[in-house]
Structure 1
Amino acid sequence: MRIVGWMLGLFALTACTTVPENVDPIKEFELSRYLGTWYEIARFEHSFEAGLTDVTAKYQMREDGGVRVINRGYSPEKKQWEEAIGKAYFVGDPTIGHLKVSFFGPFYASYVIIALDKTNYQYALVTGPNRDYLWVLARTPQLPESTVMSLLDKASALGYNTDSLIFVSHSRNDG
């Protein structure tokens, strides 16, 4: 089951809440503006998302002050939606875009926002604890090519192999 794959993929990061070397999380982060639905525009492929299309991440406040994370994607192979629900908390200062996220028990992985449209919170560039993880997220299923290229240029300058990115198809209305 792919949900188990999502969990095991994040489990492989085993409590790794570090930030990649020479990468800085954004400052002046406002969680209340980040909440809501984000569409995955591009990603590095991992077993926990392999083959999924129409991937979204929804962030909601939890009663304990953390963030509820709902990752959802469509598996064309299985012809069904798959979902993983997790939780996230700030690693330190809540105005710094560095959180830890867990989909599997007590094991957390870094969620580091390294670029963000601070004016309208319409796009973000996110990494994990190392350069094997990278996501381009947006509030809409598509971004202007110039915005995507700007984000990819930033990622490339930080040492990410952007040639390995998979661009995610968004063709289903109920995703």
Structure 2
Amino acid sequence: MKRLLVGLGAALVLAGCSTSSSDKLAPKTVENVDLKRYQGTWYEQARLPMFFQRNCAQSEAHYTLQPDGNVGVLNRCQTADGKWEEAKGTASPQVPGKTDKLWVEFDNWVSKLLPGVTKGDYWVLYLGDGYSTAVVGNPDRRYLWLLSRKPQIDEQTRDELLSKAQQQGYDTTRLIWRTPDADMPKE
């Protein structure tokens, strides 16, 4: 039941993410993402509050490039009591041939009942050297993720990601930061 509620919450929030905005006012993306290099595991360092992530102490995303050019998505969230919750989905380019702005749709009963309605924006706003870090958001700046290939980042990397998000007009004062691994129960 809990997995069902997480999936429903994810679908409803992402449906709300898909609002359109003027390109003039929207954040600037990196323009090109090599999805082969982008695939793999990303650790969420911080996020703007989202309903379906409200109980997450730590989150990670696993991306797998598919033969059709889409990306398989597996999001995992560990709650403060040590339980893991998962959501699976697919990311696809919003514009054919462009990989900086993706639609993400999670596999759940809502997306099966209302195909296409539960898509959410996933815009890659910044990529660090060697695809080591990323800043991802949506056009209306309600949602934001600061990501790293490593579970923990140093202060310089943290400051760099914060700066990149602030330059794009995101309110970083409301960020929820990853709970340190030492405080978490083991899987």
TM-score (norm 1): 0.87
Of residues 62, 68, 75 in structure 2, which corresponds to 1:64? Answer: 68
| CA distance in structure 1 between the aligned counterparts of 2:91 and 2:10, rounded to whole angstroms | 15
Alpha-carbon spacing, 1:67–1:17, altered in 2? closer, same or farther (3 Å):
farther
The alignment-based identity, stated in percent, is: 33
Q: Report the equivalent of 2:123.
A: 112
Task: For structure 1, list consecutive stretches of 5 or more residues without a partner in the other structure.
Answer: none
More strand per residue: 1 or 2? 1
Note the C-alpha offset of 1:22. Answer: 4.0
The list of structure 1 runs, each at least 4 consecutive aligned residues, that deviate by more than 3 angstroms after superposition, is 15-20, 93-96, 172-175
| Structure 2 residues not aligned, in runs of 5+ | none
Instruction: Assess, with a 3 A threshold, how the Cα gap between structure 1 residues 129 and 28 changes in structure 2: closer, same or farther.
Output: closer
Task: For 2:87 and 2:134, locate their aligned partners in 1 and report how far apart those are by CA, in whole Å.
Answer: 21
Please give the TM-score of this superposition, normalised by the length of structure 2: 0.81
RMSD (Å) for aligned C-alpha atoms: 2.3
- Deviation at 1:128? 1.5
**3-state SS, counterpart of residue 155 of structure 1:** helix
Which aligned pairs between 1:109-148 and structure 2 lie closer than 5 A?
109-117=120-128, 119-148=129-158
Q: Residues of 1 paired with 2:15 and 2:32: CA distance?
A: 29
- Partner residue, 1:4: 8
| 1:53–1:76 Cα contact (<8 Å) kept | yes
- Which structure would you say has the larger Rg? 2
Query: Aligned residue pairs: how many?
Result: 172
* Residue of structure 2 equivalent to 1:91: 94
Higher normalized helix content (fraction of residues): 2
